[in-house]
Structure 1
Amino acid sequence: MPGYNAPNASTPVAPAPVWKDKWGAIALDKDAGDAGTIADRDTKAIAVHDAMSDCKARGAQGCKVVLTYYNQCAAIAWSDDSYGASTDKNLQMAEDGALGACRKNGTGCKIVYSACSMPERVR
């Protein structure tokens, strides 16, 4: 085809993708053993608010945000005498990190929550 890949021809460049951050948060009441969790929120403030609301809706009174994260995965491991929280780009690695953190101070640790809040392509 004449002019195809000619040295002076301009090749249109596709626009770069545009991504929107997605946030998550975890609130715990360690004494009551309750948690509030949320993922896929548009801002950190919304994630924190929704995690606290979820924790309180479960009847907990001493809820505190222990973890916020965006564009990655998070996990919580829990035992009778310890807990651990971790984030990572990979869900399995986040779970492994939470278990490791929990096992530093406790035994019988189990994953009680894990989720990912990955960025959303908007264009």
Structure 2
Amino acid sequence: MRAVAVLLLLLCTMFIDSAAHAEGGCPPGMIPEGGQGVMSCRPIPGYDQGKQQQPPVEWASKWGAIATDATTGSLGAVNGASSANRAEEGAIADCRSKGGANCKLQVSYSNGCGVMVLGNKVFNAKSAATIEEATRKGIAQCSAESDGCHVYYSGCSLPQRIQ
């Protein structure tokens, strides 16, 4: 009787062990394929049928711009515009609304950030993917020509998910 129980336990262990390795280490929805020491995984036919496919994610580019009037010190900025032209025109209009008569575009950027850096003798505008990166660029250029460099303005125009 004891020998029969041991034999049954051994058979059950073998069955459980073979069931655990049935997928051959393949991820869900895949089955092993190959031979002679070469093994790969292939999709199980019909596995994804009935599952809803997700639509692709779509993004709309957003633009920003910075304009200044060096004579009056006026600064205009726009973020979140739908085109470069709208951002640039908006920044110049914002600069003029703050007293600038000779507003000039300093930088425009898409899906990123812009900064205006001021020093004792110079100013510059830089753009990059992040505020930190744009700041690094602006401070580096300013520091090469002036003392007292600091960020006067920063803003971002990040892409907007539309689907």
RCO comparison, higher one (Cα < 8 Å, 6+):
1
* Alignment TM-score, normalising by the size of structure 1: 0.88
Aligned counterpart in structure 2 of residue 26 of structure 1, from 66, 78, 101: 66
Contact 1:23 1:40 in 2 (8 A): yes
Contact 1:36 1:56 in 2 (8 A): yes
Shift of 1:25: 0.4
* Alignment TM-score, normalising by the size of structure 2: 0.68
Contact 1:84 1:100 in 2 (8 A): no
Q: Which runs of 5+ in 1 are unaligned?
A: none
4+ residue runs over 3 A deviation: none
Q: Distance in 2 between matches of 1:23 and 1:30?
A: 23
Q: What is the match of residue 38 of structure 2?
A: none
Q: Deviations over 1:31-81 (max 9, x none)?
A: 222111111111111101110111001111111001000101111101231
Q: What is the match of residue 112 of structure 1?
A: 152
1:28 aligns to what SS in structure 2?
strand
Q: Deviations over 1:88-110 (max 9, x none)?
A: 21211111211112222221111
Amino acid at match of 2:135: E
1:104 aligns to what SS in structure 2?
helix
Aligned counterpart in structure 1 of residue 81 of structure 2, from 35, 38, 41: 41
1:60 aligns to what SS in structure 2?
coil
Contact 2:61 2:159 in 1 (8 A): yes
Shift of 1:117: 0.5
Q: What is the match of residue 87 of structure 1?
A: 127
Aligned counterpart in structure 2 of residue 67 of structure 1, from 60, 83, 107: 107
Aligned counterpart in structure 2 of residue 16 of structure 1, from 51, 56, 66: 56
The number of equivalent residue pairs is 120
RMSD, aligned CA: 1.7
Bigger radius of gyration among the two: 2
Q: Distance in 2 between matches of 1:62 and 1:10?
A: 65
